[in-house]
Amino acid sequence: MIPKNTVDTIIETSHIEEVIGDFITLKKRGANLLGLCPFHGEKTPSFTVSSVKGIYKCFGCGKAGNSVNFVMEHLKLTYPEALKWLAKKYNIEVVEKEITPAERELQTERESMIIVMQYAQRYFSETMMQIDEGKSVGLGYFIERDLKNDIIEKFQLGYSLEAQNSFTNTAIINGYSPKYLAKTGMSILNKRYIEGNEINATDLFDRYSGRVMFPIHDDGGRVVAFGGRTLTNDKKIAKYINSPETEIYNKSKILYGLWLGKKTIQEKDTCYLVEGYMDVIAMHQAGIENVVASSGTSLTVDQIKSIHRFTKNIVVLYDGDEAGQKASNRAIPLLLEEGMNVKLLQFPNNDDPDSFSRKVTIQEFQNYIETNITDFLHFKTKKLKEQSKNDPIKRAQVIKDIVDNIAIIPDNIIRSIYVKECSNIMEIEESIIQLEVNKLRLKITPKQKKDDSVSDENTITEISKQNKFEETHESNILKIDSEEKELLRIMLLHGNILVKIDTENENEVDIENLEITISEFILYELWRDQISFENPIYQLVLDEYTLELSHDRIPTIQHFSMSQNPIVSSFVINNIINNYELSNKWKTLGVTVNEEINNIKKSTEHLLFSLKEKKINNYISEKQELLKSVNPEETENIIKEIIHLTGLKKRVNKLLGRIIIK
């Protein structure tokens, strides 16, 4: 367990704009920061971060929280894990006892798998640097590829020994569970294993024997998978083996190098997309760090969205061979459809970034990239135009291919610019290209609407789940959510504001103009009439507020936003960040805007009376329903109660300024 003073230090030190800025690009918008939400696919930013309040909220999907909540949600961590992650980021020491193998088994499955992967990375790196086979074979390979020691250390490269059980046996001896060695895919179950039995050392063998190892990190810098390259020339053996899909590794979402390159991607506002691990590493060694690879898979929409969180500008640096061209042709439509600005670069003589970087100096490599990047349309049209010379049929097909790419671009202005450019390069009338683009758009639009509809349904479902405690399901009871919610909002935002009230002491002596806080006024009124909130989550917040106040502390927004209960923190944050802010221009025009705080007492009284009136209505409805089933001798008493409640209702409505017709 992490000590409370350490937790407080972590929370106080964790600036939300820095934490979230590690995962998405944030831009100043008024008093807040704005970016693309990492929790749902969006192309228009709606993810708002308040540095002052230390909270975030997405107005698209409804996700909200603080820095700890964000790390928990984005990296799929428990509360203690998120605190440890933040502590590591800010170099805060967390003192915990060393856990035993038995205790390790009791940890969550995901945490146990992460622990195995961290151990595997250390094991492979130490094996390569300290054991003879590792130094001669593994390290020898990387040295042959001209990698410097600092780059080898930076990417945590390693080597897996040729012996088939070397890693597995060493891991088990060091207390790591065979169950999690199998679940992470680091070890493979042999044919002798009987399904359902407890897994032991004799049931496993190494997945990566005799391979150099490339750790794959998630956005938070944790090792979640590996790529292993064989050093043999035997064509029957797969050149690369990658980790299988696991609870901690989804290959369609992870980009190799993003963890190390995301800061530079933000700074340069550009991302280079390459094919392989060594391409990423070679570019880092050449001083270019804003680069990622798709981890041995075809580029996916989820991976593009991961890049889009940091920049809209992407340069595709796929190999010049036939396989590289095919990969490029698959990637371009996906990138364009996601609203990315796409440029291409091809190296000479079918080189890739790795091989070309070893033929030239670092300066020559950087210069080549800077001077040879071409917009995707110019690259494609010029290349295809050369291939289709003097062949009208091929030329028509080239134009069709280009028009297909232009049509999927979501931005109208960018699309129209490309239509004009294509017309000039291909020497064909702009109106003809525009006509073809329009035809394709008509086919694309219904699909987009359908996708948007599905996305909206998913969003609604997510918000519905998140706010399930905020719904009143009894159809015959008047809803009082709005009054309860508004009273809590006033307490959270203005709880320390002093107001004057008339009251009486224990001797029933009137006291005029007693000065108390607005939060004390609300709690007193609720206590006097024995009112509790119908909504359980609102009552939970109210109880905690009351407890804090009993200790002479008016709880701050940060107190609730840092709650370990995500329902509490989500409620608080959703009710204190507004999507719209009042413009300062009104003041410059001489228009006085009446702020809420100026009428706080009056609006609070109105809410309290409205809540009481609805409560009375609920009581009356309950009594009227009870009349249908009670004995005749009980009827008179219930009618008297209804008459009494109706009288109270009239008094409350009079205070509310309402005229009762019947």
Let me know if residue 513 belongs to a domain.
yes
DSSP secondary structure code for residue 134 in this structure: I
Identify whether residues 405 and 524 lie together within a single domain.
no
- DSSP secondary structure letters along 191-203: TTPPTTSPP-GGG
Whole-number Å distance between alpha carbons of 218 and 258? 8
Same domain, 270 and 350: yes
Residue (of 611, 650, 648) closest to 525 by Cα position: 611
Could you tell me which of 500, 494, 495, 496 has the C-alpha nearest to residue 597? 494
Residue pair 156/86 in contact (Cβ under 8 Å)? The answer is no
Question: Which residues does 39 contact at the CB level (< 8 Å), separation at least 6?
Answer: 58, 61, 63, 73, 74
Would you state the pLDDT for residue 153?
96
Contact 126, 138 (CB under 8 A): no
Give the separation between CA 568 and CA 566, rounded to whole angstroms: 5
Q: Give the number of other Cβ atoms within 10 Å of residue 468's Cβ.
A: 11
d(CA 238, CA 106) in angstroms, rounded, equals 37
Going by the DSSP 8-state scheme, the letter that residue 585 receives in this structure is H
CB 316 within 8 A of CB 344: yes
pLDDT at 210: 95
Point out the domain boundary residue: 37, 61, 89: 89
Name the domain boundary from 67, 89, 111: 89
Assess whether 264 and 225 both reside in one domain. no
Give 626-658 as a 3 state SS string.
HHCCCCHHHHHHHHHHHHHHHHHHHHHHHHHCC
Report the SS3 class of residue 575: coil
Nearest to 328 by CA among 351, 345, 303, 341: 345
| Residue 453 main-chain phi, psi, to 5 deg | -65, -45
d(CA 118, CA 504): 66
Task: Let me know the angle formed at the C-alpha of 238 by 271 and 186, rounded to the nearest 5 degrees.
Answer: 80
310 and 183 in one domain? no
Residues 332 and 190 occupy one common structural domain: no
Whether residue 158 is contained in a domain is answered as yes
Pairing of strands 27-29, 64-66: unpaired
Is 251 domain-assigned? no
pLDDT at res. 474? 40
Range of the domain at 592: 481-656
DSSP designation for 256: B
User: Residues of the chain whose pLDDT is less than 70?
Assistant: 1, 96-107, 296, 320-321, 444-480, 502-513, 564-566, 575-597, 645, 647-662
In angstroms, rounded to a whole number, what is the distance separating the alpha carbons of residues 522 and 520? 6
Instruction: For residues 215 and 270, state if they share a domain.
Output: no
Instruction: Indicate the residue among 385, 419, 443 that finishes a domain.
Output: 443
Residue type at 573 in one-letter notation: I
The length of the chain in residues reads: 662
Give the domain CATH number at 59: 3.90.580.10
Q: Rg (Cα) of the chain, in Å, rounded?
A: 32
269 and 406 inside one domain: yes
Whether 373 maps to a domain, the answer reads yes
How far is Cα of residue 364 from the mean position of the Cα atoms in its chain? 38
Burial 129-161 (b: 16+ CB within 10 A, else e): bebeebeebbbebbeeeebeeeebeebebbbbb
Within this chain, do residues 418 and 528 fall inside the same structural domain, yes or no?
Answer: no
Phi and psi at residue 513, to the nearest 5°: 55, 45
The DSSP H or E segment spanning 601 is: helix 600-627
Q: Are residues 429 and 343 in the same domain?
A: yes
Query: Scanning the structure block, which residue is given the tokens 């009987």?
Result: 194
In a domain, 248, yes or no: no
- Per cent of the chain over pLDDT 90 is 28
| CA-to-CA separations, 386 to 354, 374, 391, 405, in angstroms, rounded | 28, 16, 10, 19
* 3-state SS string for 43-112: CCCCEEEECCCCEEEECCCCCEEEHHHHHHHHHCCCHHHHHHHHHHHCCCCCCCCCCCHHHHHHCCHHHH
583 and 439 part of one domain: no
Structural domain count, the chain = 4
Residues 6+ apart with CB under 8 A from 627: 635, 638, 639
- Predicted confidence at residue 468, as pLDDT, reads 42
User: Among residues 79, 76, 67, which one has the least CA distance to residue 218?
Assistant: 76
465 is a domain residue: no
Q: Say whether both 192 and 289 belong to one domain.
A: no
Query: 196 to each of 172, 179, 184, how far by Cα in Å?
Result: 20, 12, 18
CA dihedral 408, 413, 418, 419 (to 10 degrees): 90
Q: Is residue 461 part of a domain?
A: no
CA distances from 516 to 346, 429, 500, 598, 636 (A): 72, 77, 6, 16, 43
- Tell me if 467 is assigned to some domain: no
Shared domain for 316 and 180, answered yes or no, is no
Structure tokens at 331: 């990637």
Return the CATH number at 204. Answer: 3.90.980.10
Amino acid 244: pLDDT:
93
CATH of the domain at 372: 3.40.1360.10
